[in-house]
Amino acid sequence: MDVIISMAAKGQKIIYHRQNCMYVEKMKPQNRMVLSQKTVKKQRFCSCLYCGGLKGELRTNPQFSAWEKEYGIAIDYIEKNNALYVRTKIGCWKLWPDEETDKYLLFHRNIYNKDMTLAEACYGAYHRQRDVKPMASLHQLINYIVAHDRAKVIIMDNYRKLPRTTAKQKKYYRQTENKIKRRERKQAQQRIDYLFKLIAEGRA
């Protein structure tokens, strides 16, 4: 992602801004210089206190309210944790910024129910979603979360209703099918073991 600095800025501290920051709008067009984030990090420029970081992303990105409305999710920023929490009907996710890479890491709450408050959902055990690489795009992560939890809802009803159009969807279907069959075999074996136990105890 490219950022903006002002060539007219005075003083030793050089501040960079997101392109849609309100302070960029106050700069004269001829004074704006576009640089890559890699460059400003290397030069150790300072991020804008208004638009920098995850909190700044929320301030300057108008898409958040649109995502909440379109996908039926809740998105909240918790300053104490410096993390973004996304709650769907069946899951809670944490997006955490990795300062070294300027990308976001995705974590999934181990146990969640829709009656949890935001404060309750923020704490507790989370695991890193290992099939998702660190991403610079919050939109891509939101899309992943929505697709993941929609698939989980389908699986709860009948995994055979999962889409199988793309290669990725077919792979996910096979993985889900194998996982469910393993679980069914395990449950069947447990029932047999329990029946034999009852017979041995003379209760069947």
| pLDDT tens-digit readout, 85-136 | 999 999 999 999 887 777 899 999 999 998 899 999 998 999 999 889 998 8
In 3D, which of 17, 42, 37 has the Cα closest to residue 27?
A: 17
Given pLDDT bands bounded at 50, 70 and 90, which one contains residue 54?
Answer: confident
Statement to judge: residues 23 and 50 lie in one domain:
yes
Q: Per mean pLDDT, which range of 8-17, 21-30, 158-167 is the poorest? A: 8-17
The whole-number pLDDT of residue 203 equals: 67
Q: What is the pTM of this model?
A: 0.76
Last residue of a domain, one of 14, 38, 56: 56
Q: Do 154 and 166 share a structural domain?
A: no
- 123 and 168 both lie in a single domain: no
Q: Are residues 45 and 8 in the same domain?
A: yes
Same domain, 95 and 136: yes
Nearest Cα neighbor of 139 from 82, 92, 73, 49 is: 73
| pLDDT greater than 90 at residue 198 | no
Residue 204 confidence class, pLDDT cut points 50, 70, 90:
low
Cβ neighbours of residue 56 under 8 Å, at least 6 residues apart?
18, 21, 47, 48, 49, 50
**Distance (Å, whole) CA 35 – CA 176:** 44
Q: Are residues 92 and 130 in the same domain?
A: yes
Domain carrying residue 14:
2-56
Q: Are residues 41 and 124 in the same domain?
A: no
Total number of domains constituting the chain: 3
Asked whether residue 71 falls in the same domain as residue 132, the answer is: yes
Q: Is there a single domain that holds both residue 18 and residue 99?
A: no
Same domain, 42 and 102: no
pLDDT of 11 above 80: no
Whole-angstrom Cα distance, residue 136 to residue 106?
11
CA 138 to chain centre: 7
Q: Are residues 79 and 115 in the same domain?
A: yes
Residue of 27, 6, 24 lying closest to 15 (CA atoms)? 6
Say yes or no: 87 and 149 in one domain. Answer: yes
